[in-house]
Chain A
């Protein structure tokens, strides 16, 4: 199971782009990177998943460099409603080994 390291917290102003980086130095060849968002007292919500380079959906972008030892979740033009905890998970497609959520990054969006 690849260990991940994320900042504990981040602050951002409304309308700015926010980048949250996750380090996963011992990522394995068949590991994927998945990000979740969690609001207080709610279950986490799947945001985005990727293997390499860049993935974009209607919510966020995920940037993964060639060595895959880190990844960056990019949230464009954040609003107050983006205030949440963001979790980075790394694991393989086979087996239930990517189930370590850790403590995540608490993003606070300031008006």
Chain B
């Protein structure tokens, strides 16, 4: 158990819809990272927040957005969903902002039908 929690575990929704994925980092960790992993694909970094501020941006689509709240939990919002957005979405946290020793959550499996 990494100490990072993600909800929900599974999500099934239709194209065009909007969903919110939630992540709670390990106690004391200030950074939260979001990744997308499609079937048989590598991990694609989406975005990082550090202590409430956006720190780095990766291959995040304009339809996707994220935020980190004062209690350090984070939410990833996915809108106008397409079939290709079906994937595992992982959240990770680390104590600092440089992303070295990241601790990953169990992931949210999103299926868009």
User: B41 and A93: CB pair below 8 A?
Assistant: no
A45 cross-chain contacts in B, Cβ below 8 A: 2, 104
- A41: interface (CB < 8 Å): yes
- A98 CA to B55 CA in the complex, in Å? 13
The docked-state distance in angstroms from the alpha carbon of A99 to that of B88 is: 17
Decide: A43 and B106 in contact? CB cutoff 8 A: yes
User: Distance (Å) between the CB of B75 and the closest chain A CB?
Assistant: 18
Q: Within the complex, which residue of B4, B45, B50, B107 is in contact with A99, where a contact is CB–CB below 8 Å?
A: B45
A5 to chain B, nearest CB (A): 13
Whether the Cβ atoms of A43 and B56 lie closer than 8 Å is no
Binds A, one of B12-20, B65-73, B78-86, B94-102: B94-102
User: Counting CB contacts under 8 A, is A81 at the interface?
Assistant: no
Q: For chain A, what secondary structure do more than half of its interface residues adopt (helix, strand, loop), or is it mixed?
A: loop
Complex CA gap A42/B102 in Å reads: 14
Interface pick from A12-20, A60-68, A70-78, A101-109: A101-109
Known A46-B101, A93-B100; contact A103-B41, beta-carbon cutoff 8 A: yes
- CB neighbours of B43 from chain A (8 A): 38, 44, 87, 101
User: Which residues of B have CB within 8 Å of A36?
Assistant: 102
Contact present for A43 and B2 (CB under 8 Å): yes
Q: Can you list, as one digit per residue, whether each of B50-68 has a CB less than 8 Å from chain A (1) or not (0)?
A: 1000011010000000000
A45–B105 Cα gap in the complex (Å)? 10
Q: Is the CB of A96 within 8 A of B56?
A: yes
Instruction: Identify which of A32, A41, A46, A94 gathers the most chain B CB atoms within 10 Å of its CB.
Output: A46
A98 and B106 alpha carbons, distance in the complex (Å): 21
- Are the C-beta atoms of A99 and B105 separated by less than 8 Å? no
Show the binding face of A for B, using Cβ within 8 Å: 32, 34, 36, 38, 41-46, 49, 87, 91-104
